[in-house]
Amino acid sequence: MKNVLIPLAQGCEELEAVTLIDLLRRAQFKVTTAGLELQLTPIKASRGTTLLPDTSLDQALKTDYDMLVLPGGLPGADHLNDDPRIIPLIQKMVTENKYTCAICAAPRTLARAGVLESKRATSYPGTLDQMEISGMTYTGEAVTIDDKIITGRGPGVAIDFTLALIEALGGSKLKQQVEMPLLR
Catalytic residues: 104
Q: How many residues does the chain have?
A: 184
- Tell me the torsion sign for CA atoms 55, 60, 62, 63: positive
User: What is the radius of gyration, based on Cα positions, of the chain?
Assistant: 15
CA distances from 114 to 58, 60, 102 (A): 23, 23, 14
